[in-house]
């Protein structure tokens, strides 16, 4: 029963998954289709339905991988932070925002797309919630839990509005609300 038979092309499945992630980042959830994935992966249409029976399997798998990759990246970012003062943490967080807005725009857009999609599709919730959860963990390593939660809310708000806006925020528009939480006296 469990005997292994037939030709194994383990790279195939992986290539399809990777193509799905690429497609999601480029076109968003709405751009996902068996046909588009097959085109992007360079495999026949039948392959995508063979390895991933339904389109949701494809979406779930790709979003889980993408969010886990992001979580890993963010943890590493937090680990390289040392032991900053509140004022320094403000600057580090502002750097983070600017870095992401400049270099990870597609990932950010997808994360918010995922959040709003999760509001109508409960099966996407776990992946959507993982973003904020990870941010909270990483920041909580450098401040108290309450402040960490508030900081995450502010960060999400900044990113959300910056992505929807026509122009990127100034440095001061980023640091001011963060400083209001971390260095309220000055």
Sign of CA dihedral 151, 133, 136, 20: negative
Residue 126 structure tokens: 């776990």
Of the candidates 115, 134, 139, 142, which one interacts with a second copy according to CB under 8 A?
115
CA distance 129 to 144: 21
Q: Does 186 bind a second copy (CB under 8 A)?
A: no
Of the candidates 132, 140, 143, 168, which one interacts with a second copy according to CB under 8 A?
132
* Binding window for a second copy (CB under 8 A); candidates: 11-19, 32-40, 79-87, 145-153: 145-153
Residue 135 structure tokens: 């941010």
* Residue with Cβ nearer a second copy (49 or 147): 147
* Binding window for a second copy (CB under 8 A); candidates: 69-77, 78-86, 89-97, 175-183: 175-183
Q: Does 55 bind a second copy (CB under 8 A)?
A: no
The entry of DNA, a second copy, none near residue 45 (CB within 5 to 8 angstroms by kind) is: DNA
Question: What region does 161 belong to: left with phi over 0, alpha with psi -120 to 50, or beta?
Answer: alpha
Distances from the Cα of 181 to the Cα of 96, 98, 152, angstroms: 17, 19, 11
Q: What angle do CA 113, 148, 90 make, to 5 degrees?
A: 90
Question: Which residues have C-beta within 8 Å of that of residue 88, sequence separation ≥ 6?
Answer: none
Q: Does 166 bind a second copy (CB under 8 A)?
A: yes
Are 58 and 32 in contact by the 8 Å Cβ rule? The answer is yes
Of the candidates 123, 125, 168, 171, which one interacts with a second copy according to CB under 8 A?
125
Are 145 and 85 in contact by the 8 Å Cβ rule? The answer is no
Of the candidates 6, 7, 30, 80, which one interacts with a second copy according to CB under 8 A?
30
Binding site for DNA (CB under 7 A): 1-9, 12, 32-36, 43-50, 53-56
- Contacts with a second copy by CB under 8 A lie at 28, 30, 109, 112-113, 115-116, 118-120, 122, 125, 128-129, 132, 146-147, 149-150, 152-158, 160-161, 163-166, 173, 176-177, 180-181, 184
């Amino acid at each position: 029963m469990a005997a292994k038979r037939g030709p194994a092309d383990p790279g195939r499945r992986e290539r399809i998954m990777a193509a799905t992630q690429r497609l999601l980042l480029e076109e968003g959830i709405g751009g996902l289709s068996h046909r588009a994935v097959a085109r992007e992966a360079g495999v026949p249409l039948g392959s995508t339905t063979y390895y991933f029976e339904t389109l949701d399997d494809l979406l779930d798998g790709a979003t889980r991988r993408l969010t886990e990759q992001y979580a890993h990246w963010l943890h590493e970012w937090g680990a390289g932070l040392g032991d900053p003062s509140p004022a320094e943490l403000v600057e580090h967080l502002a750097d983070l925002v600017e870095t992401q807005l400049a270099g990870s725009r597609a990932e950010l857009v997808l994360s918010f797309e995922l959040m709003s999609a999760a509001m109508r599709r409960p099966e996407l919730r776990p992946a959507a919630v993982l973003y904020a959860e990870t941010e909270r963990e990483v920041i909580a390593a450098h401040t108290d839990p309450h402040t960490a939660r508030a900081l995450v809310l502010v960060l999400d708000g900044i990113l959300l509005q910056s992505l929807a806006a026509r122009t990127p925020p100034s440095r001061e528009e980023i640091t001011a609300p963060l400083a209001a939480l971390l260095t309220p006296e000055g």
